[in-house]
A and B are shown apart, each in its own frame.
Chain A
Amino acid sequence: MTDTKITSKEAIMLVVTIFVSHTIVTLPQNLLSNTKSATLINLLYVGIIAILLAYVIYRLLKNFASLDIVDISQYLGGNILKNIIGGIFITYFIVSSSNLLREFCEGLHVAFFPMTSIQFVLIPFILVLFLTNSLSFSSNVKTIAIIFPIVLISIVFLFFGNFQNFSFERMFPILGKGFYDTFITGIGNIFAFSGISCLYFIPPYLKEPNKMKQIALSSVIIGLLYFLFCTATILLLFSFFVDVDEVLPLYSAASYIEFGIFFQRLESFFMLIWILEIGCYLIVTNRFSISIFQKITNLKFQKPLAMIFPLLILGISLLPKNYSIIRFLESNIYSYFIIAIIFVLGIAILLLANLKKRKEGKVR
């Protein structure tokens, strides 16, 4: 666990991995149910806001060199604030990982393992975390750097593979539910950019901290393009993706790709790639959770935590009794949770810390 520094390219892939993972499950459908046919316009709109926010976060982090948000909150409010902020972000990472894992495994269970108990579908992912926690952070990120381009290509392929089935009229009515729902309440769709949370934690891991601006902006722009591809695939392909809830909408979209009678049933191949992607997401959130916990408890080593956090994720992912609870959490609670923690609390802490620093500078 000594080799912890990562390059700026690896950092970009790490951040975008967090964006991407939720699109594999029901994120595109949640976006579509909020803004219907205006989702693409809404995504461009919230994407621009997300880029601005990423820039603001970069500017606010710039004054703290290689400190992450936990260190900054310690600077702002001492150990108490550090523990509170650390606890909140650990809760966010663990709950979002658990919910995503359970949701994805429900899809796997339906499509591939109908006779297998959901616990046994979840356990292999936890084994992956046991394994990766014993490796260095840098090697984890290098793995992500190998897998992420494949995931990105798979989504582009999914888009162009289904292109012949697209009906571009589905983008109309242009305002979807209406102007207010698209541009005012539609701002809520910014929860899709939850990967911005990583920006708060990567500064200590960067080999070149001066490239933080490039990392922040590039990752959000790549994430936005990725969302546009995913959502366009679902929106333009068939109307039932908008009107009927699917367990794994992108998986269903993949089943429509056929090239003649030879290249068919590519969805299994896509699923293999997406399993790896979910693994990458869990690795990132798990490593950040361990790192935060180490900071707030002043532990010297991370190794004792290597098994605790994966087991915590497993335990929480088993809590929902059925799929409807998971969907309720994902579509109704999770979005507000993200907005409150990442876009309100995170930016507020950084702003206050910057004010404090400026005040101290003036006093000197």
Chain B
Amino acid sequence: MKHLLKVFSFVVIFVILTVSFSSSYTRLNLDNIAVVVAIGIDKGENNKLKVSFQFTNPSSVSESGSSETAPTILKSVTASSISSAINLMNSHLGKELTLAHCKLLVFSEEIAKEGISDDIYTLMNDAQTRPSCNIVISKCTAEYYIDNSKPFLESLISKYYELFISSNQFTGYTANATLGRFFDNMICQSCDPYAILGGINLQIPSDSENSFSNKESTDMSNSSSLTGETISENVGLAVFREGTLVGELNAIETLAFMCINNDIKGFLISVPSPHVENQNIDVYLTPARNSKIDVSFINGSPYIKVDCKFCAQIYSMTNDSNYLDNNVLSQISESCNRYLKHVFTEYLYKTSKEYKSDINAIGKTSLKLFSTISQYENYGWREHYQDSFFDVSVDVNVKSSTLLSDS
């Protein structure tokens, strides 16, 4: 009897504990929540925010099957803060908004130029928001950007938002910029934040070319050469100083950022042909090792050495190509070196002198040169970064072409 009583009391307490530590099903079941997959933040009237929420209907996702694109709903509300906007939308929908599945956070360029640090703090303070949520700075309004973000090859919008950035690993034309990383870089004293530069393809050709560049490399969101249906595009980076947007990087500058940051697995570039004038050769590069950054101080100004090493394969092939000739390969390597050195140097001076922003977190490398935090703070890396001198060395080893070697 005593044993039975013990077992009974154990079962009762076990049930009580299980129920106590479980979240409320009534509150969190699918009928009572509205799943937000993207949030857009624009400047509203009277200094207010216009916050747009993109929802997906979970029940329609399961019903629609894999062949159809799951429908999404976009709703906007004007409020004094993001939290108030969420509250208003809760009231409007009659459901509780959940940000736990929010994959995309879009700020309009206009609001980013005024500073978004308070909004970032608020979002990080929200227990539901994921640090892996992507941050996009839209050249158009955030609402328009989200409305035109349509997954052509995916049925689920949330999956599209999660994967749309994955191409950066093999193109280098945009970077993986998440809320967690943005917040970290914003607070960090030795780096600055960045975000994905987004926009809507307006199909207006850009004519900003220089002697070293080709068309694709100067593409950025809103000015790419893509034709077809109007869709959102994500090429380039938005550069911040602390929490304020200070500039933009095009595709090739973003590639430079990715290479120096060791965030890329491989990329294709078009370099000037050493043999035929005004002709380019397409070369696919993979990092041979991580880029090395070395910081020293000369007369109080940072002297920064960047050393990158790549292996390359030639993609272009013509009827007179001879890629078995060692001299030809050396000349192409040299052409790659010159081109990349120029691109990297231009990029580094642009971000340091023009934008005064250390998005590559070079300041972290300088930390070891100081023995105490107060010494580092007294030096003021952020203020001195704009006085930096860069010495970039690039070593590309063109190994071969791909399948054909000689024609």
Residues of A whose CB lies within 8 Å of any CB of B are 36-37, 110-115, 120, 123-124, 127-128, 130-131, 167, 169-170, 172-178, 238-240, 243-244, 252, 255-256, 258, 261, 264-265, 275
User: Of the 9-residue stretches B15-23, B352-360, B389-397, which lies at the interface with chain A?
Assistant: B15-23
- Which of B24, B124, B372 is most buried by chain A, counting CB atoms within 10 A of its CB? B372
Interface residues of B in 146-198 (CB under 8 A from A): 159, 162-163, 180, 183-184, 187-189
B-chain residues with CB within 8 Å of residue A173 when the two chains form the complex: 367-368, 370-373, 375-376
CB <8 Å contact, B127 and A111:
yes
Q: What CA separation (Å) do A302 and B130 show in the bound complex?
A: 47
B-chain residues with CB within 8 Å of residue A172 when the two chains form the complex: 367-368, 370
Cβ-based interface call for B131 (8 A): yes
With contacts A170-B364, A173-B367 taken as known, whether A178 is within 8 angstroms of B372 at the C-beta atoms is yes
Interface residues of B in 116-163 (CB under 8 A from A): 124, 127, 130-132, 159, 162-163
Interface residues of B in 335-379 (CB under 8 A from A): 361, 364-365, 367-368, 370-376
> Which one of B21, B124, B189, B373 lies within 8 Å of A177 (CB-CB)?
B373
CB <8 Å contact, B131 and A120:
no
> Which one of A110, A264, A275 lies within 8 Å of B21 (CB-CB)?
A275
Q: What CA separation (Å) do A178 and B374 show in the bound complex?
A: 8
> Which one of B24, B159, B365 lies within 8 Å of A115 (CB-CB)?
B24
A-B contact pairs, 25 of them (CB 8 A): A37-B367, A111-B127, A115-B27, A124-B17, A127-B16, A127-B17, A128-B17, A131-B9, A131-B10, A167-B361, A169-B364, A173-B367, A173-B375, A176-B372, A176-B373, A177-B372, A178-B372, A178-B374, A239-B188, A240-B183, A240-B188, A255-B131, A256-B131, A258-B132, A261-B162
CB <8 Å contact, A255 and B364:
no
Tell me the minimal C-beta distance from B401 to chain A in angstroms. 33
Q: What CA separation (Å) do A169 and B358 show in the bound complex?
A: 15
* A-B residue pair count with CB separations less than 8 angstroms: 82
Nearest CB in chain B to that of A242: its residue: B187
B-chain residues with CB within 8 Å of residue A113 when the two chains form the complex: 23
Tell me the minimal C-beta distance from A277 to chain B in angstroms. 14
B-chain residues with CB within 8 Å of residue A131 when the two chains form the complex: 9-10, 13
CB <8 Å contact, B16 and A239:
no
Beyond contacts A167-B361, A177-B373, A238-B183: 12 other A-B pairs, Cβ-Cβ < 8 A, are A37-B367, A115-B24, A124-B21, A127-B16, A172-B368, A172-B370, A173-B376, A174-B368, A176-B372, A238-B184, A261-B159, A265-B130
B-chain residues with CB within 8 Å of residue A127 when the two chains form the complex: 13, 16-17, 20
Nearest CB in chain B to that of A167: its residue: B364
B-chain residues with CB within 8 Å of residue A112 when the two chains form the complex: 23
With contacts A169-B368, A243-B187 taken as known, whether A255 is within 8 angstroms of B130 at the C-beta atoms is yes
Nearest CB in chain B to that of A121: its residue: B20
With contacts A37-B373, A173-B373 taken as known, whether A239 is within 8 angstroms of B187 at the C-beta atoms is yes
Nearest CB in chain B to that of A169: its residue: B364
Nearest CB in chain A to that of B19: its residue: A124
Nearest CB in chain A to that of B364: its residue: A169
CB <8 Å contact, B127 and A120:
no
Q: What CA separation (Å) do A244 and B184 show in the bound complex?
A: 10
Tell me the minimal C-beta distance from A206 to chain B in angstroms. 28
Judged by DSSP, the binding face of B is helix
Q: What CA separation (Å) do A174 and B375 show in the bound complex?
A: 12
> Which one of B21, B180, B365, B374 lies within 8 Å of A256 (CB-CB)?
B180
With contacts A124-B21, A261-B162 taken as known, whether A240 is within 8 angstroms of B184 at the C-beta atoms is yes
With contacts A112-B23, A124-B20, A127-B17 taken as known, whether A169 is within 8 angstroms of B184 at the C-beta atoms is no
CB <8 Å contact, A177 and B374:
yes
CB <8 Å contact, A175 and B184:
no
B-chain residues with CB within 8 Å of residue A178 when the two chains form the complex: 372, 374
- Which of A111, A173, A238 is most buried by chain B, counting CB atoms within 10 A of its CB? A173
CB <8 Å contact, A175 and B371:
yes
- Which of B23, B124, B127, B159 is most buried by chain A, counting CB atoms within 10 A of its CB? B127
Nearest CB in chain B to that of A252: its residue: B131
CB <8 Å contact, A169 and B365:
yes
Q: What CA separation (Å) do A123 and B27 show in the bound complex?
A: 21
Tell me the minimal C-beta distance from A279 to chain B in angstroms. 9
B-chain residues with CB within 8 Å of residue A261 when the two chains form the complex: 159, 162-163
Tell me the minimal C-beta distance from A72 to chain B in angstroms. 36
Q: What CA separation (Å) do A114 and B23 show in the bound complex?
A: 10
CB <8 Å contact, A114 and B127:
yes
Nearest CB in chain A to that of B27: its residue: A115
Nearest CB in chain B to that of A120: its residue: B20
Tell me the minimal C-beta distance from A179 to chain B in angstroms. 8
